[in-house]
Amino acid sequence: MGIKWAGVFPAITTKFTSEEELDLDACNKGLEAQLEAGVDGIVIGGSLGEASTLSEEEKFILLKETVKTVAGRVPVVFSIAEQATRVAVAQAIKAEELGASGIMLLPPLRYYASADETIAYFAAVAESTSLDMMIYNNPVDYKIHVTLDMFAELEQYSNITAVKESTRDISNITRMINRFGERYKLFTGVDPLALESIVAGAQGWVAGLVDAFPKETVAIFRLVKAGRIEEAVAINRWFMPLLDLDIHPKLVQYIKLAEVATGTGTENVRAPRLKLVGKEREQILKVINDALAVRPTLPEGSWGILEAQAV
């Protein structure tokens, strides 16, 4: 049975101890905060999850623990971001064995693969697993643009079912829908553009600031889908200074600092990342604390009550 690709799927941060070891207790606490808020899926091991600093063994430890904690309440999506096709294939096979519900797959890293090489990479992973797959299209950060023509070639792989749309061109959602209809389920992957992307037709949101503000994120999504646009816009306007933290190179540190402020996570990161200090820390804390000082009361029906209406 495939994933229902719809709703809010948090890109979960990986929690560490002060000694930079996995902090599974903190991971589980953060997961429960997301589930309580009514998220529709969980994405682990992505860039926000500091995947580049995790060993393969640690990624699978996180997957096993997440699957255990979530216990079937929502799908668990395992992120694969690798340089070698054979490594990506092996990880997809292992992820399926360990109970992942699906895979989020980036194009090949470091090597600037051509269109045919990128398609062959995606195809090899798709053929190795029965899991549903989401292609992460983020040419801004990862340099490879998965074009509409490339998605046309990928249509033949029935388990490539969703796209994390992070080109930062909202019109790309309309172009994808015009060309492919409902063949691909489209998720916005850029927090500051999320509301507009959902209005344009995105069925879901792979979110970042949701780690610290799960209820507000879920409320915006569900209000838009319920046609309560003005209420969603009001929350989004309050949220925007925080959402902007998602598009900075230090998004991990920024979002983790927000998690500390809301009690959903820890500030610890793994080197080469370092904790924020000095003026930068003060600036980000001001953004967070200014927002918390005027944190809105969510409109009646925007969270919890609307769960039955979630797409």
- 286's CB contacts (< 8 A; 6+ apart) are none
Paired tokens of 66: 């997440």
d(CA 73, CA 294): 32
Across 37-41, 143-147, 297-301, least confident range: 297-301
- The pLDDT of residue 303 is 60
d(CA 266, CA 264): 7
Can you give the residue ranges of every domain in the chain?
7-309
Residues 21-47: tens digit of each pLDDT: 999 999 999 999 999 999 999 999 999
Maximum Cα–Cα distance across the chain: 52
Strand order of the β-sheet with 102-105 is: 7-10, 204-207, 185-188, 160-165, 132-137, 102-105, 76-80, 42-44
Q: Which of 63, 29, 32 is nearest to 45 (CA)?
A: 63
Give the predicted TM-score (pTM) of the model. Answer: 0.95
Per-residue HEC secondary structure of 93-131 comes to HHHHHCCCCEEEECCCCCCCCCHHHHHHHHHHHHHHCCC
Residues 258-276: tens digit of each pLDDT: 999 999 999 999 999 999 9
**What CATH architecture does domain 7-309 belong to?**
Alpha-Beta Barrel (3.20)
Helix, strand, coil content of the chain in percent (nearest 5): 50, 15, 35
